[in-house]
Amino acid sequence: MGKLQIRVLGDPVLRERGRDVDAFDAALWRLADDMLETMYDAPGVGLAAQQVGLSLRLFVYDPGDGTGSGAVANPEVTLLEEEGEIEQDEGCLSIPGHYFPTRRAARVRLSGQDLDGRPIVAEADGLLARIFQHETDHTNGMLFIDRLDPDARRAAMAQINAGELDLRALKGRGAGD
Ligand code: ZN
pLDDT per residue as tens digits for the range 104-134? 999 999 999 999 999 999 999 999 999 999 9
Confidence at residue 81, expressed as pLDDT on a 0 to 100 scale: 86
Residues pairing with 87 in the sheet: 103
- Hey, what domains does the chain have and what are their CATH numbers? 12-163 (3.90.45.10)
Cα-to-centroid distance, 47 and ligand 1 (Å): 6
Sheet hosting strand 107-113, strand order edge to edge: 46-48, 58-61, 70-79, 107-113, 119-125
Q: Is 81 a catalytic residue?
A: no
The pLDDT tens digits of the residues spanning 10-25 come to 999 999 999 999 999 9
Catalytic residue, candidates 83, 85, 87, 135: 135
What's at 59, amino acid-wise? F
In the reported structure, the alpha carbon of residue 176 is separated from the centroid of ligand 1 by a whole-number distance in angstroms of 34
pTM score, two decimals?
A: 0.92
